[in-house]
Amino acid sequence: MLNFIKIKAQVLIVLQLIWFEVAIGKCKPQTFEDTIALKKIEVSALQLQKFNPQESIKQAEQLIEQSKAVKNSLFEAKGLHIKGLCCYSLFRYPEASKNLEKAKEIYETLNYKQGITTVTDDLAKVYSKLSYFPKASEYQKDVKTNLSLKDSLLQGEKAKQEMKVDFSKKETQLKLNEKISKEQLAKKSQELQIKEQQLALSNKEKELQTMALLKEKAEKNEKEKLLQIAKQEKDLQSAQLAVLSKDKALKEAQIQNQKKEINFKNTMRIFYWIGILLLSISLFFIYRNFKNQKVNLRRLNISNNKLNREKLKTEELLHNILPIEVANELKANGFSEAKQYEHVTVLFTDFVNFSGISESLSPKELVTEIDLCFKAFDGIMQQYKLEKIKTIGDAYLAVAGLPKANEHHAIDAINAAKDLVDFMQKTDSVFGVKSKHKAGIRIGIHSGPVVAGIVGVKKFAYDIWGDTVNTAARMEQNSEAGKINVSYSTYELAKNHFSFESRGKIPAKNKGMIEMYFLKQ
């Protein structure tokens, strides 16, 4: 029972530390058990850092290996950081700089501000020891830039330390309660022993009294027998009196035996109830232990379910930002390479007279109207399997044929464009044809090769590049309200499925003369 209480307190402390790192968005565990194991190794390495750097390096290397095994980059960076600091304290400066640089790269990838600030400060110290002053000066500047961020993170560390102190107090209170329980149990045991001794002494005294009485009676009977032998002929009454005395002695002996039997039964009854009491106490503690384990297991399952729900929310958010294939590649490898797609169709849209309409609306009304239209656009893109790339002001950019290749990409893009025109003719939005502005939408489509991939590290986005994108933009700029303007390459791919009206060659900005076609509605 006492070991269970200690284990429970230690588990609560580790859970609180892990919760703190999850709350600030830095700890992203693959499994709950892996994270607990990594946290224990990190704490052990930090405790040995000042007193036994060599042993701390071994713990740090173990932390690095296990972090790589479970693909936890944060704990891998922490292991490299601890190893670098231990090498610094052992005057192995080149090795220290190497490990700290690796830790800094991982912190920057994770955008872990506290780790970046701390490791930058440590690198400045190492390069000063190596007399590499330009590099040291550069890192010292980075440290000054991050001072304000470091102060805020120190407050988080202070809160973590306060939580540790609070759990330490609770553990001390548990130990005190344990000691009090032991003392009370020992006191009760001593009282029970004293009672048992008193009972034994009482029984012995009764036995001695009985033996003395029997001895007296035996001596008296012996004297009476002698008197009876001497006076058999003289005193018959004395003989009868002796017989009566024997009967009385026999009855008294029977009474004593009955008392002994009653005392024995009472003693056995006391031991019986003491046994039942001890058994009940044992069963009570066993039941309470089982109940506590069941409650802890239920709490652990609830925590795991919460973590799984948060993981699903994160994956759904990632799939809203990136295509599913790109998101899966990013989760599996930690990065996604840009790819060349030779056959895709790019769709550009733009609202007619957007500037004039926006001047007559408040910012909130303008955003509401744009959101109404773009939500409908998103549904149409999903229906025809086009990948939405981004919105730029009132412009909407989408592409068909990636990330999965699709030989009908041009047909899908034109069908989506037709539904966009139909929506703008029916909608009550201020940008629709039915509004008082009689605005509508311009659409441009062009087919060709593009390059697609993820841009940046912070707030990254999936984007496409290439001359095909620029040409599609020119198609939109040279279109008209309610019209779908396509290039010659798109016309060649879709001419057997739709009717087109040739516009001839039209000059386009930075493109020269481009052959264009209007889709016949």
Q: What is the pLDDT along the chain (521 residues), one digit of tens a residue?
A: 444 444 444 444 444 444 444 443 444 445 667 888 888 888 888 888 878 888 888 888 888 898 998 989 889 888 888 888 898 888 888 888 888 888 889 988 998 888 888 888 888 888 888 887 787 777 777 655 555 545 555 565 665 676 666 667 766 776 777 777 777 778 877 888 888 888 888 888 888 888 888 888 888 888 888 877 777 778 777 777 777 888 888 888 888 888 888 888 888 888 888 888 888 888 888 888 888 888 888 888 887 777 777 766 666 565 556 666 666 666 666 666 778 999 999 999 998 888 888 888 888 888 888 888 899 999 999 999 999 989 888 899 999 998 888 899 999 999 999 999 999 888 877 676 666 666 678 999 999 999 988 876 666 678 889 999 999 999 999 999 889 999 999 999 999 999 999 999 999 888 889 999 999 87
Closest CA to 75 of 63, 83, 87: 63
The whole-number pLDDT of residue 453 equals 84
Task: Give the pLDDT of residue 506.
Answer: 92
- What is the dotted CATH code of the domain comprising 334-519? 3.30.70.1230
CB 82 within 8 A of CB 49: yes
3-class state of residue 345 by DSSP? strand
- Residues 6 or more apart whose CB falls under 8 angstroms from that of 418 comprise 484, 519, 521
Helix axes 147-230, 133-145, angle to 10 degrees: 70
Write the single-letter amino acid at 113.
Answer: K
Closest to 125 (Cα-Cα) out of 108, 110, 142: 142
3-state secondary structure 397-424: EEEECCCCCCCCHHHHHHHHHHHHHHHH
Radius of gyration from C-alpha coordinates of the chain: 46
Q: What is the DSSP letter of 322?
A: S
How far is the C-alpha of 431 from the C-alpha of 421, rounded, in Å?
Answer: 12
First to last CA, the chain: 81
Distance (Å, rounded) from C-alpha 215 to C-alpha 219? 6
Q: What is the pLDDT of residue 320?
A: 59
Q: What gap in Å lies between CA 397 and CA 375, rounded to an integer?
A: 14
Please check whether residue 240 is in contact with residue 232, taking contact to mean a CB–CB distance below 8 angstroms. Answer: no
161 backbone dihedrals φ, ψ, rounded to 5°: -65, -40
> Would you state the structure tokens that stand for residue 45, as one six-digit string?
């390495």
**CATH code for the part of the protein at 2-169:** 1.25.40.10
Domain range annotation of the chain: 2-169, 188-306, 334-519
Sort 187 into a burial class: Cβ within 10 Å, 0-12 / 13-18 / 19+: exposed
Structural tokens at position 250: 């026999």
State how far the Cα of 480 lies from the Cα of 483, in Å rounded to an integer.
5
Single-letter code of the amino acid located at 164 = K
* CA angle (204 as vertex; 202, 210 as ends), nearest 5: 105
- Could you read off the pLDDT of 66-122 as tens digits, one per residue? 899 898 988 988 888 888 889 888 888 888 888 888 888 998 899 888 888 888 888
Whether 478 contacts 382, CB under 8 Å: no
Is-above-0.75 flag for pTM?
no
Whether the CB-CB separation of 486 and 494 falls below 8 Å is answered with: yes
